[in-house]
Structure formats: structure tokens, C-alpha cells
Chain A
Amino acid sequence: MKKKEVEELLQKYLEGKTSVEDEQLLNRHTQDPYYLDEIGFYKEAKEQELPNTFDETITNSIKLLSKRSFIHLAPILKIAAVLLLVFLSVSLVRMNTTYNELLTKMEAIQSTLAVTLIDHRSVHLKLKALKFAEELPEIKPELSRSLIDLLNNDENVNVRMAVVETMAGFSENEYIKTEFIRSLKKQESFLVRAILVENLINMNDPAIIEEMTKMIEDDRTELELRNQIKEMIL
């Protein structure tokens, strides 16, 4: 066998295209020391040849490596997340406390402002004060007293009516109920009395209904007011 033919067989062997006869033929020539080194080289080259799935293997390796890095950092991230949550919770609690404190202070200022404005001579400022009072969640005793004083003594009918409507928003307050009933006897304006009656009945209090029933039976009560009470109670 010529040297060229042996080389061609070796090339086919390397490419994996050799038949059984080719390999037997090749094996015979491997005994020849001349080809021995060359065949060894080809065998070594074939063993070192990269697999067909090279790209896939590389991708898998990268993925594994990434996974390993993340898994490696997981405990640190967990601790960081816990610390962040703790920090956020503490901040939220603090913010909420500050917000509530601010809200309380604002309400106190609003209440004081309302009391101050009520004393002003301008009806517009008094009505503004009543708007401030209306927005408060609860009505402080000092403000209640000022408002009742306004209801009983202010010369302006619109201001007195606005006091009734503002205070009616705090109808759970017993002081307000009692003072509203007392004020009915003090009011000269029929319009203010009518609004007092309307708001008192809307409070749905049995004691008030009893008072209203007495007003129906009282001849001194205006006929229109008696009719209004009857219409609302019955």
C-alpha cells in the first residue's frame, strides 16, 4: 500500500468514514514503524476533537455558573431583604406617628383659629371659623362653648343658622343636644328655631323627641313649627 493511500485512509478514519475493511487494512499498516507516529497523531487528534454539542455545553456551563453565583449570594440577599423590611417598617411607624402628631397639632390649631375667628366682628370670618370647626373630627369643650355663645348671642341670622348646621355634625355630644334645646327658647328668629328643630329631630334621640312632643302640645309654639315637628316625628 502506498503512503498516499495510507494517508487517505487515516484521513477517512479521522473523519469516521472508514469501513471495516478499511480499518483492517489500516491495522495491518500500523505495525509499520513508519506510520506509527502518524497514526498516533491522528488517534490523539480524534480523541481531542470537540463534541458536536459544544455550544450547548458552553451555554449549560454558563447557566450553571450563574446559578452557582446567585445561590452563593442568596443568604446575603436574604439578610439584606430582611434588614430593608425592618428599616421600612420602622420608618413607616415613625412616619405614621409623626403624621398623627402633625394631624393632632393641625386640629388643635384649627380649633384655636376657629375660637379666635368666632370673636371677630365680620360675619364672613365667623362663617369661615364655622367651616374650620366643621372639618374637625371632634369638637373641644372650649370651641363648643364659643359656638353655643355665638348661637345664642350673634346678631346675624345666617351665622346662627350656620352654627346649628356645624354643631349638628357632632350630634353624639350630649352638651350640644342640651344646649340646642335650651337655645330654642332664646331664639327670636323663626328661621333659626325651625333649623334647630329640624336638626334636633334628625339626631333621633328619645329625650329630644319627648321635648319636641311637648312643643307640639304647647300653644306658644308657632303653628307652622308644630306642623313641621308633627310631619318629621310622625
Chain B
Amino acid sequence: MKIFKYIPLFVVSLISFDLLGQPPIKQLPNVIKKYEIELTRPWRSGLLKVETQYSRISVEAHDIDYIDIEIHDLQGQNAEYNSLDPNRWDDVEAPFTFVENENDVIIEELAESETGLLILIKVPEKFSVKLRSELEDVFVFDLRGQIEANTKAGNIVLTRIYGSAVANSESGNIDAYYKEVTPRYPHALSTLRGDLKLVLPTNSSTNVFIGCNNGKVKSEYPTRTSGKSDQNERIKIIKTGMGEASIGLRTYYGNVSIYKS
């Protein structure tokens, strides 16, 4: 079967994800559909909004002035796409709708969508994103705009963040690798059952407020307990530099780990 020849590649990419903190999705080749959306005002930043039920979302920022969308079949389970000659991909209707309105691009998954799809989107660097996947993972790379990511059962991985991030997952983990921590907006990462992993640049100037009800807090930075919640010692604070930016971390059942990059 076609999928088997990609298993070693998948394994390698999984290992590289563990070692380098990079998700493997970039190397998966089953592209089943491609789109390019021209922006009405390419010189301006814009907002990309993606909502899916079953599909994994990955957004990469590049030095481009358009939006590029690729739909991948991750598991090779979608027979319709797999049986197609690549030259005939255009004949297939993608299970998504695309709307562009003055640099705001909205991508929504159709209700009858298949499982195991990945929607890989390349956006201009200054774009902001609002991403939601009910059951799958969300990845964001190199974005300088604002990131809002939500999932119920999936994980959220934010890599090389330059802008601000607000993310919530009910059952999944959240990993946030900051390149810069902007003090312009507060950052907030929360999960009910998952773990939180935060990697801060060594020169950051940040206050991190950690609320961890039942898990453990592991940090490469010294922590202190907030005066406000001494009663139950649930809020811990880390201060790096002058503490100009603010990051709120909250998990009820999970653990929190904070590293220096």
C-alpha cells in the first residue's frame, strides 16, 4: 500500500520532533489539494481564521504576500484522494470553504469532512491567526502576529513565537517555544488535563504566573509563591529580567515545565 513507503519517513520525523521540538508534519508528502489566495491588500497584515472538527491545522509564516494552502492526507485513509492521479487533484472538491475579505481569510471545514486530513497554510509573517480544531492538533511556526489557538482533544505546539499567544486545550498538551516575548499584549496558555511546556529566550523580560492545581511545576528559573494566594500556594511566579511581558499558565490536572532556550 502507498502509505507504507512513508512509514520510515514518519518515524524519522517523529524522532526529530522529540529531539528538536519540531513537529513532523512538514515532511509528509500526501498533498491532495493546493490553493493560493491572493490578498486584496497584501501590504497590510490580516487575520486567518480556521475552524475544523477532525483536521489537523498547521500555519507557517513566510516572507510572502499571499496565502498558500495545502491539504494533506496524513493517514492515507481517504480512498478518494489516494486513488487519484496527482494531475487530477483539481477535480476533487476539498472539504473546506475559503472566504477572503480585505485580508481576513476564513477557512471552515465542511460538516461531512473526512478524518486524518492536515491543512497546511503559509501566511505572511505579520498575519494574526485564530485557529480551532475540536479533535486534532494545532501547529504554528514563526508568526509575528497574534496567535489564538483552541482545541478540545488535540495538542497545541507554537514554535518560534515572536508575537503574542493565547491558547487553550481541554485535554491536550500545550508547548510554546518563544523566540521573543512581546510585552505589547498579555499571553495566556491553559489546559484542563494536559501539560504545559514553556521555553523562554534567556534574554526575555517576563513575569510568568503559574496556576497548577494538581500537578507539578518544574522550572529552570527560580519560582516564588504569589502573596495573593498564599492560602493554597497554587499560584507561582517566575520573573525574568525586568518582567515587562506577562504570561499566564494554568492547568488543573497537568504539570508545568519551564525551560531556558
Contacts and interface: CB of A to CB of B under 8 A. Distances in A.
Interface of A: 122-125, 127-128, 130-131, 156-159, 161-162, 165, 189-191, 194-195, 198, 202, 224, 228, 231-232
A128 B246 CA distance: 10
Nearest to A130: B186
Q: Which 5 A-B pairs have the closest CB atoms?
A: A158-B188, A124-B185, A127-B186, A157-B168, A124-B146
B148 A156 contact: yes
B144 to A, nearest CB: 13
Contacts of B186: 124, 127-128, 130-131, 162
Contacts of B148: 122-124, 156
Given A157-B168, A195-B211, A125 B185 contact: yes
B10 interface: no
Q: Chain A contact residues: over half helix, strand or loop, or mixed?
A: helix
Contacts of B72: none
Contacts of B189: 158
Contacts of A131: 186, 246
A156 B131 CA distance: 12
B213 A127 contact: no
B239 to A, nearest CB: 16
Interface of B: 128, 146, 148, 150, 164, 166-168, 185-186, 188-190, 192, 211, 213, 228-229, 231-232, 234, 246, 248, 250, 252
Contacts of A127: 166, 185-186, 188
A124 B189 CA distance: 12
A34 to B, nearest CB: 103
A190 B229 CA distance: 20
A124 B149 CA distance: 12
Contact of B234 (A123, A158, A162, A198): A198
Contacts of A161: 188, 190, 248, 250
12 contacts: A122-B146, A124-B186, A125-B185, A127-B186, A128-B185, A156-B150, A156-B168, A157-B168, A158-B166, A162-B188, A165-B248, A194-B213
Contacts of A190: 192, 252
B159 to A, nearest CB: 19
A186 B241 CA distance: 40
Contacts of A198: 229, 232, 234
Contacts of A202: 228-229, 231-232
A232 B232 CA distance: 7
B185 A228 contact: no
A158 B190 contact: yes
B149 to A, nearest CB: 10
A156 B186 CA distance: 14
B11 to A, nearest CB: 35
Contact of B252 (A124, A156, A158, A191): A191
Contacts of A228: 213
A116 B250 CA distance: 27
Contacts of A125: 185
Given A128-B185, A194-B252, A157 B246 contact: no
Contact of B168 (A124, A158, A231, A232): A158
